[in-house]
Amino acid sequence: MSEAWTPFSYIVVNLAREIRPGEIAFSGVNSTLPMLACLLAKRAYDFHFTYLNVAGGVEPVPRKIPHSSSDPAIVEGSPALFANEDFYDLCARGGLDLVFLGCAQVDGEGRTNVSVIGPWDNPRVRLPGGGGAAVMMPTAGRVATWRTEHSTRTLVEKLDFVTAAGNLQTVVTPIAVFQKRNGRLALESWNPQVTPDEVIERTGFKFDARGARPTAPLAARERDALASLDPHGEFAAETR
């Protein structure tokens, strides 16, 4: 019997599964789960890809995994360092194949909001802002985002504000993986611990579920790599 998914393992592993051989993958600010996904892919998969991160690391090999994706510890072991402007330039020139960018809200067209919740001129919550999202989302080869909460307030029919739009291809939550097809996010797979009907009920936008299937089980190498990255369950405890 395969090991049951946890919210933590489901998000990290399914983000890692988006990385393809030979690609250049980038994880941004406040992106701890994609940071772990890139490090997991390095340990679990038998192919090469280049990992860059917002702290400036190029192919880092950290001895201790930091809790912040911007921590200088995540550049340890890098043969070179990048400045932020270099990442934006590389992306604008088509040099980043896969970029992980966070969001507060995402809609069915794959647009994201990291700016405000509520009206722009009188918001209920003012969010940190998009950082480089508005530049990187339309210029990266593909963009993947994630939400630790799968609900109608995070996966919405209408964004409170459009911070970024462009090449968002993948959305991963604790219960589902969406991929863009024909201009809209469609269900690719669901966590076997829920049903497709539950995914529909908890999603604010309508989506195509044809061809969707239960997510492939956690592989032994993925499980072992995840355990090596989070031996004391500290990251898992923060993702519920």
Q: What is the pLDDT along the chain (240 residues), one digit of tens a residue?
A: 467 899 999 999 999 999 999 999 999 877 899 999 999 999 999 999 999 998 888 998 888 887 777 777 778 888 888 888 888 999 999 999 999 999 999 999 999 999 999 999 898 999 888 778 889 999 999 999 999 999 999 999 999 999 999 999 999 999 999 999 999 999 999 999 999 999 999 999 999 999 999 999 999 999 999 999 999 899 899 887
Number of residues that this document lists for the chain:
240
Continuous segment of H or E residues that includes residue 98:
strand 98-100
Which class is domain 7-233? Answer: alpha beta
Residue type for position 6: T
Distance CA 177, CA 218 (A): 14
Residue 183: its pLDDT value, please?
Answer: 94
Return the bridge partners of 113, or none: 105
Distance CA 54, CA 132 (A): 11
Lookup: tokens for 120: 């722009």
Give alpha helix (H) positions in the chain.
7-16, 32-44, 84-92, 133-139, 196-201, 220-229, 234-237
Rounded Cα distance, 141 and 92, in Å = 10
Report which DSSP code applies to 64: S
Which helix (H) or strand (E) is 24 found in, with range? strand 24-27
In angstroms, the CA 203 to CA 152 distance is: 5
The answer to whether 148 and 119 have CB atoms below 8 angstroms apart is no
